[in-house]
Amino acid sequence: MTQSKRETERKYEPSSPGAVGVPDLTGTGPVASVTRAGPEELDAVYHDTADLRLAGASVTLRRRTGGPDAGWHLKLPLSTDSREEVRAELSDEVPRELRELVLSRTRGAELRPVVRIRSTRAVRHLRDADGRVLAELSVDEVRAKALPAGGGRAEWTELEVELADGAPAGLLDAVEKKLRKKGFTRSGSPSKLARALRETGGRAEEARRSPPEVVPGSAGAYLHTYLREQVDALVAWDPAVRRDVPDAVHRMRVTCRRLRGCLRSYRSVLDRRVTDPVRAELRWLAGELGVERDQEVLRERIGAALEDLPGDLVLGPVAARLRVWDVSRADETRTRTRQALASSRYLRLLDALDGLAARPPLRAKAAKKPARVMAKAVLKEYDRLAGRMDHALEQPPGQSRDAALHQARKAAKKVRYATEAARPALGKPVARLGKRAKGVQKVLGDHQDAVVAQDALRGLGVAAHGAGESAFTWGLLHGRERARADERQRELPEAWRAASDPALRAPLEH
């Protein structure tokens, strides 16, 4: 059983040997008083792979005794000052749940003890005028030792300021200003583990560098940066998907699509003999995630529509049937997602993506300036979208038009993702085209969701009728979704006129 919380903190160290006393922070921002708690003796053993894959990703996994939160702690980076801390009960071995949450980083490599850190901690609580704790300031006397036995040792003193839930974010800045005046500076290490590894002889994290074949300022350089960002994002979303964090499946699926779009749109820069197999596997992963995501969308859409109906139009056990339908499907789709992330196929895909990010398969055009190469790729995707839109708008209303509009929606996404990759190089002109393509995608997306919802509502109505229940409400909702789909089709020509304005493409054609 695990629990999690968001942790926002900053670490400081004395800038000189004389800066050892902790200043009185009373009156700093909303801090009205400072109270002390008894000293704590903390003993933590940090686990990582032999090549320190977790540390390299700013992830820490430790088994800690002492203090009020003894147990296993996994810390996942969120932003500069914030991390997600997932806790599990104290045990001798790394809990299975935590091993799964780091699988996208470890790829199944063995976790072993790498550093033992013991700290004598003095705690001060910063409180507001009502006595509510705003933050905890800890002074840690740290003793670190590399593992196994015989490793190096290090000692240091550090201050840690952690915000309490609901505390104003600006408090950290106010406290930092006071600490700086008293001779403390921000720690150069993001965690105790990072500093311990550096000072006990462990391998320090190496800054990422572009491969030597990537020419600075070239099309290949911009694509390499974008590719690496998306690979990192995919790996980072993995733990959130496993923990069923809201919207995580959607975000991970979109990241798959961004990667696929990049590898497809920029085939003039990246060798497709290498990238096409990876694209195929990204399509597989997006498909597995899509089953759960599509169910999420249906549940939210139908549930919201049902809540909007007046009570006198809800006939029969509609809400109960919707819940049963969702639970039965959600369990199946959730299982499918978990199985995909637990598969060796998924881990091989992550390895392949790492390989692309480390040594992208660049073609000759990768060394050229991005203005011509990337603009041409974006315009090529636009031409595909224009062809699909023309085809869709020529179709008579019905299933053939619905299918054609769905294909146009996919093409609009490809334009959008191609512009995203090119935006740092091409600036506002490509950003404007991407924004208009997103507008078309939004209209087409709501149309497609309405079409899919109609099928689901028809099935629910048939099941209700077969069980002797009234199908009136399901039919009513079905009719509303059909009307919504028709409305989106009426909006589409205007959205497409805005996106197909030649003035949007003109800066990219020269």
- Spatial distance between the Cα atoms of 316 and 471, rounded to a whole number of angstroms: 8
Residue found by looking up tokens 């462990």 in the block? 202
Conformational region of residue 106, where left means phi above 0, alpha means psi within -120 to 50, and beta covers everything else: alpha
Q: Before 148, cis peptide (omega within 30)?
A: yes
Residue found by looking up tokens 């023309």 in the block? 390
Distance of CA 333 to the CA centre of its chain: 20
Q: Which domains does the chain have, with CATH numbers?
A: 2-199 (2.40.320.10), 217-292+326-368 (1.20.120), 369-510 (1.40.20.10)
pLDDT at 151: 77
- Spatial distance between the Cα atoms of 387 and 395, rounded to a whole number of angstroms: 13
- Spatial distance between the Cα atoms of 246 and 249, rounded to a whole number of angstroms: 8
DSSP 412-448: HHHHHHHHHHHHHHH-HHHHHHHHHHHHHHHHHHHHH
CA distances from 218 to 11, 269, 361, 485, 498 (A): 38, 10, 14, 44, 31
Provide the residue type at 169 as one letter: A
pLDDT at 17: 62
- Three-state SS at 142: strand
Helices (H), 309-369: 318-341, 344-358
Partners of residue 37 on adjacent β-strands: 123
pLDDT at 205: 54
- Three-state SS at 163: strand
Cβ–Cβ under 8 Å, residues 86 and 76: yes
Tens digit of each residue's pLDDT (9 = 90 or more) over 44-82: 999 999 999 999 999 999 999 998 889 999 999 988 889
Cβ–Cβ under 8 Å, residues 243 and 84: no
Cβ–Cβ under 8 Å, residues 134 and 171: yes
Reported as type and span, the H/E element at residue 73 is: strand 71-77
* Buried-state track 7-22, b at ≥16 Cβ within 10 A, e below 16: bbebbbbbeeeebeee
The one-digit pLDDT tens for each residue of the chain (510 residues) are 678 889 999 999 987 765 557 888 999 999 999 999 878 999 999 999 999 999 999 999 999 999 888 999 999 998 888 999 999 999 999 999 999 999 999 999 999 999 999 999 999 999 999 999 999 999 999 999 999 877 799 999 999 999 999 899 899 999 999 999 888 999 988 899 999 999 988 765 555 667 778 899 999 999 999 999 999 999 999 999 999 999 999 999 999 999 999 999 999 999 999 999 999 999 999 999 999 999 999 999 999 999 999 999 999 999 999 999 999 999 999 999 999 999 999 999 999 999 999 999 999 999 999 998 999 999 999 999 999 999 999 999 999 999 999 999 999 999 999 999 999 999 999 999 999 999 999 999 999 999 999 999 999 999 999 999 999 999 999 999 999 999 999 999 999 999 999 999 999 987
Cβ–Cβ under 8 Å, residues 117 and 196: yes
pLDDT at 20: 57
- Spatial distance between the Cα atoms of 434 and 377, rounded to a whole number of angstroms: 13
CA distances from 159 to 64, 73, 77, 187, 440 (A): 19, 20, 20, 9, 52
pTM: 0.90
Partners of residue 162 on adjacent β-strands: 9, 136
Provide the residue type at 164 as one letter: A
Question: CA angle, corner 386, sides to 383 and 387, nearest 5?
Answer: 90
Cβ–Cβ under 8 Å, residues 144 and 154: yes
Reported as type and span, the H/E element at residue 4 is: strand 2-14
pLDDT at 51: 92
Name which of 490, 421, 147, 471 is nearest 314 in CA terms.
Answer: 471
Both structure tokens of 501:
């304005």
Residue found by looking up tokens 């003793």 in the block? 143
Name which of 56, 67, 286 is nearest 160 in CA terms.
Answer: 67
- Spatial distance between the Cα atoms of 487 and 492, rounded to a whole number of angstroms: 9
Residues with Cβ within 8 Å of 380's Cβ and at least 6 positions away in sequence, in order, are: 265
